[in-house]
Amino acid sequence: MSRQTKAGNRRRVLRRFLRNRLAIIGMVIVAIYIFIAIFAPLISPMDPLKQNLSDKRIPPNKTHLLGTDQFGRDILSRILYGTQYALLVSSMSILLSIVFGTLFGLIAGYFGGVIDEVIMRIMDIFLAFPYLLLAILIVSALGPGIWNTILAIGIWGVPIFARQTRGAVIAIRDREFIQAARAIGNRAIRIMAIHLFPNIIPPIVVYAALYMGYAILMESALTFLGLGIQPPTPSWAEMIASGRNYVVVAPHIATIPGLAIMLATLGFNLLGDGLRDALDPRRSV
Amino acid sequence: MFAYFLRRLLLMIPVILGVILVVTATLDFIPGDPAELLLGQFATPESIQTLRHELNLDQPFFVRYLRYVGDLFCGNLGQSITLKRAVSEEIMETLPATLELTGVSMLLVLVVSIPLGTIVAAKPNSVLDNIVRLFSLAGLSMPVFWTGIVLVLFFSLNFRLFPVGGYGGLRHLFLPAVTLASASIGMVTRMVRSSVMEVLREEYITSARAKGLKEWTVLFKHALRNGLIPVVTVLGSQVGQMMGGAILTESVFAWPGLGRLTVHAIFRRDFVLIQGVVVVLALIYVLVNLLVDLSYALINPRISYQ
């Protein structure tokens, strides 16, 4: 493919993406969340940890736009700070999944044969665990906390990215430019890094966006079960879990943080869908 | 066909052994001495010694693994530390409630998603399609436990239509089932829609229409049947999704199933119990996926299996 048609192709993908209204909405939502995560200390009206027991469980009003929780902490500030932890956990775990998933996928897809068989059977074992259960097992053993949660979600994603990468590698493995690279004596590691890897970036990006949404949901689930982010760290799911006890007298404590989770996941889903449609319009869902 | 069945069955064995290997290995992830940690700070040295022996921690890893595999096939999953009962007994007692919940939820998914996905596939980008698409996306973006809390708030506390939680007849089952189904309904509806849309582009659909068949007949008799083939695979993965979702749903609705048992085990750090639940659910999931693959082979005569 000449450089010119490559650029034209890129422009076509970009145009398709920009024409998709839902994809743009998704991108804007994600951008807003990233902005909030970076500038949380500057835009939060109050200290997310400061308790004020005389002002507890107040419904949304002028001083506390989203009300206060059972300890009198400002819910808006806790949600804004919670964005940092939600994005930290999901992005770090997806990064872990991508690094190891693509590595295994590249090796399995490029070498094939016994190596492929062994790697993919191991991946099958991890895929055999129902959603959430492997993560529960890992964090229960290691002990609760942010880093163990990242590790557990990251491990869950490895086989998914490995499968995706392997499929993409097999599709191009026997093309002329790879054969040519091999014929002039390039080493396998160089072929994988320089020739194969750039070609599998598009599907990886699509999956990364879609799985960011899943990672956010998984972190919330683990935190809700008491395994993920620990109080008093502001976290959306922890706010729901502890606010659940006051759902009769102060329903806003448990319900509002859920909207933050839903909107974040929705944003990443829309973005991922849009990217997939733009890169491969025939496989749109 | 029979050879294919047999091959699939044999391929399942290494996966099952691998799953058990992962589950036994996680005991080694526990920092420090697992027996000491699991018994808590008031444990006597004798009880720690006994537990070490019971968990086979005094044996090399490989021996521990083989014993776990052997015990599992005899239906022995060890002894729960906090409940002082056999893990297998606890699981057998709570499993039916969980199967009831997930089964009814799956039924709900099928009843809602298949007709809805097919109808919107016929008129892409219509108002109805956009509404369904938005709700599907919202459904799979909501944390299950939050959906449950919101449903309780509206239907139990505000309108008093359904009980807040607990186990009983259909009235008790309704809200948990809707909660658990909500995410999967979104996923499966999207899948049915795209799959039926794909089929509608086929030539035999054009000829069915040209022959003067009603659009309804074309859609539900000709398109849906082929459109459902890829959906079957998604349903299999949704079963796994629902098992995880059931743990959260049960915890919200105090549903007396495996999920509530798991939550108890997590809070009390009863690791043997957690291992048991995970192994049992993973084995069920492997079997479900086997059945899905086999039914896939049966309903899709175009694919031949060697």
Of A125, A244, A263, the CB nearest to B22: A125
Q: Which of B86, B94, B93 is nearest to B270 (CA)?
A: B86
- A-B Cβ pairs (cutoff 8 Å, strict): 155
Inside any domain, residue A285: no
pLDDT, tens only, A201-214: 988 999 999 999 99
Average pLDDT of chain A to the nearest whole number: 91
Mean pLDDT of B128-133: 92
CA distance A125 to B95: 23
Tell me how far apart the alpha carbons of residues A277 and A283 are, in angstroms, rounded to a whole number.
7
Instruction: Inform me whether the C-beta atom of residue B192 falls under 8 Å from chain A C-beta atoms.
Output: no
Q: What is the mean pLDDT of residues B200-218?
A: 87
A5 confidence band (pLDDT: 50, 70, 90): low
pLDDT computed for residue B28 by the predictor: 86
C-alpha B89: how far from its chain's center?
A: 21
Mean pLDDT of A111-133: 94
Report the pLDDT value the prediction gives residue A238, as an integer from 0 to 100. 95
Residue A248 lies in a domain: yes
**Min Cα–Cα distance to chain A from B298, Å:** 23
Look at B146 and A137 and tell me if their CB atoms are within 8 Å.
no
Query: What CA–CA distance (Å, rounded) separates B135 from A264?
Result: 15
Chain A partners within 8 Å of B137 (Cβ): 266, 269-270
Question: Mean pLDDT throughout A80-93?
Answer: 97
**Mean pLDDT for the stretch of residues B300-304:** 64
In the 8-state DSSP scheme, what is residue B43?
Answer: -
The per-residue pLDDT of chain B, averaged, comes to: 89
Cβ within 8 Å, pair A224-B143: yes
A284 inside domain: no
Chain-centroid distance of CA A137 in Å reads 20
Average pLDDT over residues A172-196: 88
Candidates B19, B21, B146; nearest CB to A261? B146
B141 vs A contacts (CB less than 8 Å): 213, 217, 262-263, 265-266, 269
Q: What is the pLDDT of residue A149?
A: 97
Judge whether A227 lies within some domain: yes
Q: Is the dihedral of CA A250, A254, A258, A260 positive or negative?
A: positive
What is the predicted pLDDT for the residue at B18?
A: 96
Q: Residue A255 belongs to what domain range?
A: 3-279
CB within 8 Å of chain A, chain B residues 262-301: 262-263, 265-267, 269, 271, 274-275, 277-278, 281-282, 285-286, 289
* Residue A259 forms part of a structural domain: yes
pLDDT score recorded for residue B306: 47
Res A156 pLDDT > 70? yes
Residues sharing a CB contact under 8 Å with residue A75, sequence separation 6 or more, in sequence order: A64, A66, A67, A68, A69, A239, A252, A253, A256, A257
Question: What ranges in chain B are assigned the alpha helix state H?
Answer: 2-25, 34-39, 45-54, 61-73, 87-122, 127-141, 144-151, 170-200, 203-210, 215-217, 224-253, 258-268, 271-299
**The pLDDT value given to residue A282:** 57
Q: Is residue A243 part of a domain?
A: yes
Segment among A5-19, A43-57, B203-217, B252-266 with least mean pLDDT: A5-19
Stronger pLDDT, A108 or A283, i.e. the higher one: A108
pLDDT, position B203: 87
| A70, part of any domain | yes
Q: What is the pLDDT of residue A1?
A: 46
- Cβ contacts of residue A119 below 8 Å, gap of 6+? A104, A107, A108, A162
Residue, of A163 and B300, whose pLDDT is higher: A163
Domain-located, residue A131? yes
- Statement: residue A2 has pLDDT above 60: no
Global confidence as pTM: 0.93
> What is the distance in angstroms between the Cα of A4 and the nearest Cα belonging to chain B?
33
| Segment A121-143 mean pLDDT | 94
Chain position carrying tokens 């906090």: B82
Residues comprising chain A, all counted: 285
Q: Is the pLDDT of residue B168 over 90?
A: no
Interface test with A, best of B125, B146, B235 (most A CBs within 10 A): B146
| B244 reaches A (C-beta below 8 A) | yes
- The answer to whether the beta carbons of residues B204 and B225 sit under 8 Å apart is no
The count of domains in chain A is 1
CATH classification at residue A31 = 1.10.3720.10
Q: Which of A155-164, A265-274, B203-212, B246-255 has the lowest mean pLDDT?
A: B203-212
HSE-up of residue A92 (Cα within 13 Å, Cβ side): 14
The ipTM value here is 0.92
